[in-house]
Copies of this chain bind each other. A is one copy, B any other.
């Protein structure tokens, strides 16, 4: 994947993590080879099914994860059941909050995914030891902060149609290789998830999707597969 590669090479030596046979950028890119060996011995690659929780809201977790494949959604739920997805994470993002055990949100696999699970205290120690790693995690936090604020604009000020277009654009942007003119991708989210991400209801999401289809901005090949013939048409719908 594109993102992964650039992230790693930007961070330093692209060495594979033992347990993952992979270079997961945010964590591994910043580590020395001896640290990588140690990490490899103690970390674990794990497949998770869509829908399963990686971190539970308001619980303590003694593990961090690094996403190797798939999409993870970050959710907040209110006591009465209202729910808001506050972020999507893609490979090779890091999941977890260094030095803080309690989480105020839950992380759940949106699609089938593979993650690399790392013991919390081991990685915490490495963070305090290696400036590069701290810097790397700091960078991801700032990236997430930008994304969150961008999404606040979407939630607070955009119309339903603009919201749905924004979501499609976000996914398209993070999706796999695309031709220059048209883009095709699988939606990693159900209609219900999309609604929870956009602050809408599933009915409205559905209606706006068919609206965009009728306007020719997208084609809906099947329930989960979308084709965007012209990305600029889609961007026009976002008006930003």
What is A's interface to B at a CB cutoff of 8 Å? 74, 76, 78-80, 82-84, 86-87, 97, 100, 104-105, 131, 134-135, 137-138, 141-142, 144-146, 148-153, 155-158, 196, 198-199, 239-240
Q: Chain B residues with Cβ under 8 A from A74's Cβ? A: 149
Other than the given A79-B240, A131-B134, A156-B196, 20 more pairs (CB < 8 A) read A76-B153, A78-B153, A78-B239, A78-B240, A82-B158, A83-B157, A84-B152, A86-B149, A86-B153, A100-B142, A104-B150, A105-B149, A137-B138, A138-B141, A141-B141, A144-B145, A155-B155, A155-B199, A156-B198, A156-B199
| 12 pairs of residues in contact across A and B, judged by CB atoms under 8 Å | A76-B149, A78-B157, A79-B239, A84-B156, A86-B149, A100-B142, A104-B149, A104-B150, A134-B135, A138-B141, A151-B152, A155-B155
Q: Cβ of A105: which chain B residues have Cβ within 8 Å of it?
A: 149
- The residue in chain B whose Cβ has the minimal distance to the Cβ of A197 is B156
Q: Which residues of B contact A151 (CB under 8 A)?
A: 152
List, in ascending order, chain B residues with CB within 8 A of A83's CB: 157
